[in-house]
Amino acid sequence: MDIIPAIDIIDGACVRLSEGDYSTKRQYNVDPVAVAVSFEEAGCTRLHLVDLDGARMGKLVNFKIIEKIAARTSLHLDVGGGIKSSEDLKTLFSCGAKEATLGSVAVKDKELTLDLLDQFGPSRLILGADCRGDAIAVGGWKETTAVSVSEFVTFYFEKGFRKVISTDISKDGMLKGPSFSLYDQLLQITRPFEGSTVIASGGVHSMEDVVSLEKMDIGGVIIGKALYEQYISLEEIKSYLNDRRGE
């Protein structure tokens, strides 16, 4: 299972929200590049970056930061927020992102999403299935749709997606544990598809949560606020990863 630290960006700085509410914004560091470097030094190989300005405004905003992180680290970057077109994806990939997460656009424009999947392939695109209850939420989580998470994920995996990141919004930033029932549901949906990966996001507050998710056969876990508020330390991450690698 991959340990994937998260960087959420507003106005060029690292922030965290609670339950996706922008009014709860808390700024942790004004230099996302330095934060990314610290994650790599702890042994992480992946980074999940969300352009919250982009998610709110419906367009890419902080792509220059992505470019700087890619230049300063060898982290495998997956990026979400404000992606609406093939041109957006080309911009992200030219800046150094390895994968892009499609959330809002996948709900609002299936034809375009499937065209993007055809253009870029399942190795570069991740399905973003963030939900409030059982309903998919979009637009920086401001809009809750009538689309169920199971319906949404099933449709796109049948069309060729093989990786999904899912956040239970009620758990996000609350540090009360992840939504194990949601990930069990997603594992059951995706397991029949060869090469499928479920990535958990939201609520993780301890290494015990990480171990529990690994035992479920989750492919990756995104950790945000627990790192920034030191419920989980970078030393714990480093030790965990070293143990996994037999070092």
Q: Is 78 a catalytic residue?
A: no
Q: Which of 51, 53, 88, 130 is catalytic?
A: 130
Residue 140: strand, helix, or coil? coil
172 catalytic, yes or no?
no
Angle among Cα 71, 72, 74 to the nearest 5 degrees reads 85
Half-sphere exposure of 176 (CA within 13 A, CB side): 9
Distance of CA 73 to the CA centre of its chain: 18
* Catalytic entry in 8, 78, 88, 209: 8
Tally Cβ neighbours within 10 Å of residue 150: 16
User: How many residues are present in the chain?
Assistant: 247
Q: Which residues of 86-109 are buried (b: 16+ CB within 10 A; e: fewer)?
A: eebbebbbebbbbbbbbbbbbbee
Helices 63-72, 32-41: inter-axial angle, 10-degree rounding: 30
**Cα end-to-end distance, the chain, whole Å:** 17
Q: Give catalytic residue positions.
A: 8, 130
